Amino acid sequence: MHIEDLKKAIDFTNAEKELISGFDMPADAFIPLFFSLRDGGDWSYSAKDITTIAVMDKTTVYDDEKKTGYSLEEIYLFVNPVLKYEEERCTGLKNAARRKKGCLSGGLIKSG
């Protein structure tokens, strides 16, 4: 690792600590948010007193005339969410190559 990469990692970690200090929640409740920021995707965390889910919503805007575009990634952190209804019960999750996600139920993979 180069010294510049190490400095960026330290700066990012310090920004994470500063963000955590602004809320009255345990630091580990932010794990899904930071995983979404660093690695993308949706993540969840559950402990005795708190459950958090980070959900990433990605929107791509493309201008056909200029042949330019950008992607906007919004991450929502849900704290102690309440389940309103259930469509399918998952017994495990599979994330193959971070592209194809599925739900394992009874040994079968169901695309999600």
The pLDDT of 85-111, averaged and rounded, is 50
| 52 vs 102, residue with greater confidence | 52
51 and 65 housed in the same domain: yes
20 and 75 housed in the same domain: yes
Which domain does 69 fall in, by range? 3-81
Given a cut of 70, whether residue 73 has pLDDT beyond it is yes
38 and 24 housed in the same domain: yes
What the block records as the tokens of 74 is 């919004």
38 and 71 housed in the same domain: yes
Given a cut of 80, whether residue 94 has pLDDT beyond it is no
List pLDDT tens digits, range 8-57.
Answer: 889 988 988 998 999 999 999 999 999 998 888 899 999 888 999 999 99
Q: Which helix (H) or strand (E) holds 60?
A: strand 51-63
Whole-number pLDDT of residue 55: 92
HSE value, Cβ hemisphere, 13 Å, CA-based, for 89? 2
